[in-house]
């Protein structure tokens, strides 16, 4: 993590079912690198500002300023294990099941 880095914390679905799994974060790095951690809920953005948020966010993603990690499984047969994996914390980022080739 770079100095003055920012961490947006949302989507801790795996934490609902696994109370023993914790993210290890060095508080020394947080202090010395002046890292900002901000937790939020998706419902925080369902107000009138949501459209503005989505517009800016899409622009950042398209410009490569915001990284969206994807965990892709292939084939309809992987849907059950992909779904269960959400609750185990198997994925990082957005979970996608690609059913057919584009």
| 63 and 48 together in one domain | yes
Q: Report strand pairing: 94-98 vs 70-74.
A: parallel
Residue-number span of the structural domain to which 77 is assigned: 69-102
| 28 and 63 together in one domain | yes
| 7 and 56 together in one domain | yes
- Is 90 exceeded by the pLDDT of residue 49? no
pLDDT tens for each residue of 59-97: 898 898 988 889 999 999 999 999 999 888 888 888 999
User: Percent helix, strand, coil in the chain (nearest 5)?
Assistant: 40, 20, 45
Q: For residue 61, what is the domain's CATH number?
A: 3.40.50.720
| 57 and 75 together in one domain | no
CA-to-CA distance for 60 and 73, rounded, in angstroms? Answer: 25
Q: What is the pLDDT of residue 13?
A: 65
Considering the chain, what is the average pLDDT of its residues? 84
Q: What is the pLDDT of residue 83?
A: 92
Strands in the chain per DSSP E = 6-9, 36-39, 70-74, 94-98
């Amino acid at each position: 993590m770079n100095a003055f880095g920012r961490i947006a914390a949302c989507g801790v679905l795996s934490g609902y079912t696994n109370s023993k799994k914790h993210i290890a974060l060095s508080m020394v790095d947080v202090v010395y690198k002046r890292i900002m951690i901000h937790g939020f809920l998706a419902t925080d953005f369902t107000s009138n500002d949501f459209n503005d948020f989505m517009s800016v966010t899409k622009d950042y993603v398209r410009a490569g300023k915001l990284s969206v990690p994807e965990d892709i499984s292939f084939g309809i047969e992987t849907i059950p294990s992909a779904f269960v994996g959400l609750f185990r914390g198997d994925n990082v980022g957005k979970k996608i099941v690609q059913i057919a080739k584009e």
